[in-house]
Structure 1
């Protein structure tokens, strides 16, 4: 649940589309309105060149391409719908306009650093969550949105006493404003839409209070995420195998449940929902500060050519810079058991609030993962 510097035993997990809110926050802070519309085709080359923090821009010399989860996902889209449906090409186009440096700067302020201690690469594919992060890192970053743009460092100790019962000093959380209240409120509004009907995280939405979040599913379904939060608690759930031997989560049994395909909203989302519902039981229901985002109609040139929802398929393997892509929840069905495999299901959590709150992390009991070997 934590990164290398805190004793984590791995180098994190690629986050998939849970990285997209950071791209949106950087763009909005830089002046891109949430009504911004991009063409968002089903498939496209990564735009090039794209400005970085250095002297040299990123150039797509390999003609790498990016595509959406489904061929039915054809724009144009505005930001609200693109976030709810996790449209890959929309956020790649956004990076082309905003540049890579604002994203690098925003993630740095949010404490979003790869779990192995390296720097985030300045490449457009970062929008699809290519780098390995710990669940605690992601939960802490999303807590900043709940805290209306104030980022607070995570502290795992609430209190401690010596053998005589005397209270000892514990580390204090350090808080700093990293984005405007309006930017944070806009992200909250966008991510409320993710857990609403029609969003990729609809199965994760709490029923007794407001919640927001983002799903993420990486290539080959090796990792599935849900990072969600309420106005006073943030948590991140990862499901996968980890380690050198990756398990492709298709036609698989996890914890006695059979899944055709594992999605960020289909398994991690409900795990998050159950954990946070229990943690907040009996606590007052709070509301987010939100903004009004007008519905944006399709620009001139014709309506979107979306088809009825077909079965979703992951991004095809074997192409450069093609990780990520969210998959729609609801595909799993009960029944069926297979041989045992690797384990997964770690969670990190952060309590939010103006004072930074208390931060902790815990692991769910490992779920049994079985099924076919990775292809």
Structure 2
């Protein structure tokens, strides 16, 4: 058999050979060894429980995290602001107030901002901010994941250095934060910011988002928005900015105060160069432009604020209050309003100077010397630093200096002060001699109780070494009789205690041309022209005489000037004239020219105090005047502004005057939003030029007839020409009408007067009512101030006569004093004046004679029959 031959009786390798052959069948495999049984684990054992608990905890954490995340998301979107208003949002803008000559008076702003639409912002300026703040602005959808990841890595690396964490907010997120979500540092706010940023991106284009950002962002130095910042740092418009300047502005949002170029020039330059590099990376500029920009020095040229009108602070504050009352504080300070006013800066300056002059004159006559501002050492080495620490008194005029008396002799004092041409310049001491004759005539010491001592005989009676006082260097005047060889001399100054107010307005329109509310707005914001309620005294008398003229009583009617007793609940009232005398029968003209109180009370008694009260109300002087006869002498209360408006109706022919300070108000887009009533012109915008000017309708209310108004003007001209107001027209050489006013105990001094085109009301007094001193009258104190204001307003302009209305009968006659004048009568009343009677009736003749009633067209309550008979029981009036 071959070696490889298989034999059937041999098993193949690997075949298992049964140990015991079984006959009659195939061989069986041997049995497998028994496998040991595994022990079953208890399903409720320790590890089973741990496994199940772990699964439950993991599931709970997943579910809880999901619920928490959902709750966090719901909290983030809860009360999320509506972004729709952003589509029409306009950043806050400052409001401006302009004078009548278009000069800027004031800026009202919570934030100084100049809004510029995106189309007017140069592309390079836009890209500078994009490169510095949000390089992927044009491509992301509100949130930049790449920037977030980069910021996260940077913050991890900075953990050990202690550096401040960097952010990854996009420009859109900054808009959301600034406008809608606030600045609190919480995760909830960041989530709200991200959600809102995504919504903003879907609601408006990128250009609109960037426009809001560039106009809203704060860039330091009180500048909000790129336009205001360009003006503030470089005195340039956006179109004039260089690449380096645009890059500097873009460097500011991160930390405006830390990159102020005046305080931290190195940090500002480094940050600017970083922005230039970012712009180069973004290919917003070329390499050559970047090189040039880096080499450019960072020279900040802070802009000067616009030149404001240097006068009229009381006027401006009155306008601000009116704007707030009409439009609200928010719209006034952030609405971009443009208010054009009626202020005449030249007249305002003249009125302020006239009031100061009058107050100084009174103070030198009655105020005495009230002592130094402070006391310091007069040592040659100590006075300079000590003087620099003395606060300048509020209200001190710009030309005054705080000076210290270094040496005081009998006839002079050597004064020293710090002279600075520029507040930032070094102190330059200056000395000059103050002569005794400058103070001898007025610097009487004020004794306890307010009494004045005698005139000083030597300089030691006024000053002591170390006294700090106010002085002014004045040019030498030949009339002064001192320092003839010197081009200038020194004068002692002090702030007056007395106050005053002036209002000047146009009687035809009511436009207030000037308003002075006190000596100094810096010293007191209280506006005595519009806020102080004072007794008008005899300046109220025209509103007593006018009803008589309206009733047809002629100006030459003789009235009784004699003592009178009036029963009141407080006892008998015995009014008297200023001079303490009576004159018997006098004409109405003479009575008002000489300001006779007794005639005025009798006239008010005869025509009825109700009629006087109605006249005061329709002229706007006193709205609800108490019905007491004492009111006829001006014991009610009113304001300087109201008195000026009341007299304006005499000048304009009897039309009601509503004083206004604002001519128009426009919104930020130039649309007219308000104009005073009565100045509407519907045809002005539509009437063709070739058709000529439009016709304006006079809507002013007629409150007295033109004839009565002109008769009152004629009477008030007599007050200036022959009566108590003579000093009001000195040297003016033009028609002036007006009335003086002096209240009991010389507490208030008034003069209210007018020309055909200007009304001026003047008041003097103390804020805390007290006497100005015996003999201090409106004719002596207020009338000269009126004269100076009119001179400043009209100058050398040709005189204009008062307009005579149709129907007035002008008759030449003689006054009580024998002067020939032209008197104004109603037609048919030229010969109606009755002679003095023998009985005590005011008008004479029959006590039951009827006095003509005023036509009802003027809204004056009529008096049937003799008005005197209706007012006999004077006790019923109180």
- Name the TM tier (shorter chain): 0.5 to 0.7
- Give yes or no for contact 1:226–1:238 (8 Å, CA) kept in 2: yes
Secondary structure of the structure 2 residue equivalent to 1:144? helix
Distance (Å, rounded) in 2 between the aligned partners of 1:148 and 1:201:
22
Matched with 1:205 is 729
* Residue 523 of structure 2 is aligned to residue 14 of structure 1: no
In structure 2, relative to structure 1, the CA distance for the partners of 1:20 and 1:165 (3 Å cut) is: same
SS at match of 2:649: helix
Cα distance change of structure 1 residues 230 and 300 upon mapping to structure 2, 3 Å threshold: closer
Residues 103-252 of structure 1 aligned to structure 2 (within 5 Å) = 103-113=612-622, 119-163=624-668, 169-173=674-678, 175-196=700-721, 198-205=722-729, 207-242=732-767, 245-250=768-773
Alignment of 1:38-53 (within 5 A): 38-41=559-562, 43-46=563-566
Answer yes or no: is the 8 Å Cα contact 2:536–2:742 preserved in 1: yes
CA distance in 2 between counterparts of 1:147 and 1:63 reads 40
Say whether the 8 Å CA contact 1:215–1:225 is kept in structure 2.
yes
The offset of 1:137, in angstroms, is 0.2
- Tell me the matched-pair count: 273
Change (3 A) 1:293 1:135: farther
Cα distance in 1 between the residues matched to 2:590 and 2:715: 8
Change (3 A) 1:165 1:281: farther
1:24-78: CA deviations, max 9, x gaps? Answer: 111111232222212212x3213x7xxxxxxxxxx67722111001134422111
CA contact (8 A) 2:585 2:836 kept: no
Distance in 2 of aligned mates of 1:40 and 1:125: 16
The 3-state SS of whatever aligns with 2:753 is strand
Normalised TM-score (structure 1): 0.66
Q: Secondary structure at the match of 1:92?
A: helix
The answer as to whether partners of 2:558 and 2:836 remain within 8 angstroms in 1 is: no
Quote the residue 1:51 is aligned against. Answer: none
CA distance in 2, matches of 1:193, 1:246: 31
Match of 1:81 in 2: 590
How far apart in 2 are the matches of 1:108 and 1:301? 34
Partners of 2:590 and 2:836 lie apart in 1 by 18
Instruction: State which structure, 1 or 2, has the greater radius of gyration over its C-alpha atoms.
Output: 2
Q: As a proportion of its length, which structure holds more strand?
A: 1
CA distance in 1, matches of 2:609, 2:836: 29
SS of residue matched to 2:617: helix
Unaligned runs of 5+ residues in structure 1 are 49-58, 251-259, 303-375
Instruction: Classify 1:293/1:144 alpha carbon distance in 2 versus 1 (closer, same or farther; 3 Å).
Output: farther
Q: 1:77-134 deviations in whole A, cap 9, x for unaligned?
A: 11111111000001111112111121122111111126xxxx2101111111001211
1:170 and 1:40, CA in 2 relative to 1: closer, same or farther beyond 3 A?
same
* Deviations 1:310-342, CA, capped at 9 Å, x for gaps: xxxxxxxxxxxxxxxxxxxxxxxxxxxxxxxxx
Q: TM-score, normalised by structure 2?
A: 0.29
For 1:60 and 1:226, the matched residues in 2 are separated by: 33
Post-superposition offset of 1:246: 2.2
The 2-side partners of 1:231 and 1:267 are apart by: 23
* Residue equivalent to 1:368: none
1:96 alignment partner in structure 2: 605
In structure 2, the residue matched to 1:335 is none
Q: Going by fraction, where is helix more abundant, 1 or 2?
A: 2
Match status 1:268 vs 2:782: yes
Post-superposition CA distance 1:234-286 (Å, at most 9, x none): 111000012xx323112xxxxxxxxx632101111111111122122355532
Residues 1:292 and 1:86: Cα distance change in structure 2 (over 3 Å):
farther
Q: Which residue of 2 aligns with 1:65?
A: 574
CA deviations over 1:344-372 (Å, ceiling 9, x no partner): xxxxxxxxxxxxxxxxxxxxxxxxxxxxx
* RMSD value, Cα: 2.9
Compared CA separation, residues 249 and 153, structure 1 to 2 (3 A)? same
Q: After TM superposition, what 4+ stretches of structure 1 lie above 6 angstroms from structure 2?
A: none
Contact 2:601 2:630 in 1 (8 A): yes
Instruction: Name the CA distance, whole Å, in 1 between partners of 2:590 and 2:752.
Output: 18
Structure 1 residues 208 and 166, CA, compared in 2 at 3 Å: closer, same or farther?
farther
